[in-house]
Structure 1
Amino acid sequence: MELKHEHSSAIQNNRKKADSYIHSPAEQQRLYKRTLLIVVISQIFGGAGLAAGVTVGALLAQEMLGTDSYAGIPAALLTLGSALSAFLIGRFSQRSGRRLGLGLGFLVGGIGAIGVVMAAIMSNIILLFASLCVYGAGTATNLQARYAGTDLAGPTQRATAISIAMVSTTFGAVAGPNLVEPMGRFALSMGVPALAGPFMLGAAAFTLAGLVLLAFLRPDPLLIAKSWDRQQPKKSAEANPSADQSSIVNNRGLIVGTTVMVLTQIVMVAIMTMTPIHMKHHGHGLSEVGLVIGIHVGAMYFPSLVTGILVDKLGRTFMAYTSGVTLLAAGLLAAIAPGDSLVLLITALALLGLGWNLGFISGTALIVDATTASTRAKTQGTLDVLTALAGAAGGALSGMVVASSSYAVLSYAGGFLSLLLIPVVIWTRRKSAAPKSSAM
């Protein structure tokens, strides 16, 4: 009864706060900017935590298992954990707001990182796999946080808001892989295996990100947005005769946005997961691996500010096409690059990150456009599950593909798979245009 009373009081307080903003555009913009600032700060820490699993997860599993065939399993487990977490975070955020949903998600991810460190110390592969699943909560939260900035954004600000949240991840995400070697030395000085060092950083980073959100993301942007929606005057059927058609277009927006994110995630995760293994086989050390993955992760996030503006100005579908072409170039270059060429590997992985960035922001913007505050968080969480599962499939299959063929075959396959973005988007646009033409 007390919990219900507290939840009811929180809703009433948010409605009162919404009243103070709804009639003042200046106050709305101030709240929007403040929300973005808090999200940016949390994402800087979250990015550092995200990079640990990406950089050394596969190497840690390879060291403990003694084979390459299952080196893609850590990425698969991490993304499976991310999928479950995205679903739970989405529903919890819909009910209780972004602050609690995202804050607790980061803290759970920090617990998972601690579990990975303990697994490395104990050389316990089962604990490693279980902890990587829990660590996936931090990854899911890091991606879900991009939605928090859009709750209070106008239609022409949404892609830019997404990009601001994502570009702030760059600082931590680029620093993380480049701290692999120093963190490895730090871990060794404490009697911990070197490859567990980055996860020690991840534990601290995810925990700090969660605490920032829990302490400062007030008032909650999603709860305020829901209150605004409830207080907007309802349009009559006569004033909005095309409501049914709008719903159809929104559903198609969800389909194409999800497809874009799923395909870009599969291609990116598959190639990225096996690149450290490929580099190790060609004599590259941890510092070179950290450099390549650091630049790759930087390319995933750093272009976001420009990408968001382009998506808002040039359109979601045009940027989705651009993503497919960029990912194709990345796959082809990764396939033909000599294994000992650090420059070409850096270029290929940078293109891979950029292609993912273009697809992920345009896909996310399509999804935000097609949702309302009343269902936004749980819908976004559900669709992020599909994206995470796609990444899990890409990560799991990548090791098997490379073990049975080669890294080049994997890269070719990923590059050509990305081209499916173009016919899918064209088909969806034609389906969306058909009712309009028939109506005329």
Structure 2
Amino acid sequence: MIDLIQVQRRTVLVLSAGQVLGGLGIGATLSLGALLAASVSGDDAFSGLAATMSTLGAAIASIPLARFAASFGRRRALSLGSIIAAAGAIVVIYSVVIDVFLLLLAGLAMIGTAAAVGLQSRFAATDLAAPQRRGRDLSLVVWATTVGVVVGPNLLAPGEVLGAALGMPQYTGAFLFAITAQLALVVLYLLLLRPDPLLTAVEQGTRQPVESGRAPVAKRGIRGILIAHPTATIAMLAIALSHMTMVSIMAMTPLHIVQHGGTIALVGFTISLHTAGMFALSPVFGWLSDRLGRPVVILIGQGLLVAALLTNWIGQENHVFVAVALALLGLGWSASTVAGSAMLTESVDLLERPKVQGFSDTAMNLFGAAGGALAGLVMAGIGYGALNAVALALVSVVVAALLIRGRVAVAV
């Protein structure tokens, strides 16, 4: 007889450790992507493609990894994603050595798989979680990302020293940390993520043993699942649009600060506040979503996003107001993502969860990429303040969907 409570505790601990390792490795390299893209291409105009390729890589990998998890479990899926990310770091280094820009972009896209692994990890934390603790367990894994996000960028300088000692090209030394961290993740998942949380959940839910590590999968397509479970559609919409709102403002804020006389140090401080808002209080929002309900916390998140956008719009000329707005933006994203992810998980049948989760992660990344791209056009056309006003429309869609859902539930 499996002690599910003990297995879940160990699962959350292993997944949290994985988030720390993953953040340390990738956090030390993503900020170098723009520098390498400009250097290898010979044109600063191509520097933005680094972030785009990493985001697209995460989006492309999310659905295949989720399907792989549905068949073979989280342990193998997370390990596979980490192997691909490690291989991506190797490809990036090699592309710089031979000076091939397209190969660099391919490597950055492969590294983006690490983000897909991180997103799938938060869902893995819910596989065996009791309903009354699902939000909390998910949020603890999200919170663990904080360590890697904060410490990872500080490995850039040691990476350069290591790279120089090994005779590597400039800006590539830190990718050695990414390779090491991702391979360590493979070992961590394969050895310690046992029993597999998803396969165990399937066994417990279907009361049938999983033969040879391969589980039965959902037969319906994603369209049929979402039609049958409208709550899942609303949760997915809340996650994707909240992410789009956050990315569109966050991406343009550094440029706005510099254009208005701010220093690079001020940019770093503001983004640090924003990052802290995204992850540091996620356990609080997880606990609240378990106590108050997922829709209530999503609405709290949307309220925080509104406060951020209004503060930024009204106080766009004041650096203090902008910093406060970015912190609120991170908090709104955190509340909406944690509660939305828990709501998505519990709104569909067990065998259908991985498929829906993978589709949601892909949508989240694609909406974020679109938000970043469109934000530049909007800011260039009507300004930074107006960009915040436009983003309010995204929040209004989420709020309207939740309110309509509530009225339908009451009527039924």
- Residue 260 of structure 1: aligned partner: 238
Q: Is the 8 A contact 2:242 2:394 kept in 1?
A: no
- Aligned partner of 2:358 among 359, 381, 391: 381
Q: Is the 8 A contact 2:226 2:233 kept in 1?
A: no
Aligned positions of 1:178-217 closer than 5 A: 178-180=154-156, 183=159, 187=163, 196=172, 199-217=175-193
- Residue 30 of structure 1: aligned partner: 6
Counterparts of 1:171 and 1:426 in 2: how far apart (Å)? 36
For structure 1, the 5+ residue unaligned runs are 1-19, 22-26, 233-246
Q: Is the 8 A contact 1:279 1:340 kept in 2?
A: no
Change (3 A) 1:381 1:229: same
Give the TM-score taking structure 2 as reference length: 0.84
- Aligned partner of 1:422 among 388, 391, 399: 399
Shift of 1:145: 0.3
Range with greater deviation from structure 2 (321-330 or 396-405): 396-405
- Residue 14 of structure 1: aligned partner: none
- Residue 314 of structure 1: aligned partner: 292
- Residue 221 of structure 2: aligned partner: none
Range with greater deviation from structure 2 (415-424 or 51-60): 51-60
Counterparts of 2:27 and 2:278 in 1: how far apart (Å)? 11
Counterparts of 2:188 and 2:351 in 1: how far apart (Å)? 25
For structure 2, the 5+ residue unaligned runs are 209-224
SS in 2 for 1:45: helix
SS in 2 for 1:218: coil
SS in 2 for 1:371: coil
Change (3 A) 1:103 1:229: same
Q: Is the 8 A contact 1:76 1:393 kept in 2?
A: no
Change (3 A) 1:278 1:123: farther
Give the TM-score taking structure 1 as reference length: 0.80
- Aligned partner of 2:51 among 75, 86, 91: 75
- Residue 219 of structure 2: aligned partner: none
Change (3 A) 1:394 1:118: farther
Q: Is the 8 A contact 1:117 1:196 kept in 2?
A: yes
- Residue 272 of structure 1: aligned partner: 250
Aligned length: 394
Change (3 A) 1:129 1:144: same
Percent identity at matched positions? 34
Counterparts of 1:304 and 1:139 in 2: how far apart (Å)? 18
Counterparts of 1:96 and 1:200 in 2: how far apart (Å)? 29
Pairwise CA RMSD? 3.0
- Residue 141 of structure 1: aligned partner: 117
Change (3 A) 1:299 1:60: farther
Deviations 1:202-252 (A, max 9, x none): 3333332232112211111111111111228xxxxxxxxxxxxxx999702
Change (3 A) 1:212 1:278: farther
The alignment status of 1:42 with 2:18, answered yes or no, reads yes
Aligned positions of 1:92-241 closer than 5 A: 92-120=68-96, 124-180=100-156, 183=159, 187=163, 196=172, 199-231=175-207
SS in 2 for 1:168: helix
The alignment status of 1:392 with 2:369, answered yes or no, reads yes
Counterparts of 1:185 and 1:344 in 2: how far apart (Å)? 38
Change (3 A) 1:291 1:197: farther
- Residue 325 of structure 2: aligned partner: 348
* 1:256 aligned partner, one-letter code: I
SS in 1 for 2:195: coil
Range with greater deviation from structure 2 (187-196 or 214-223): 187-196
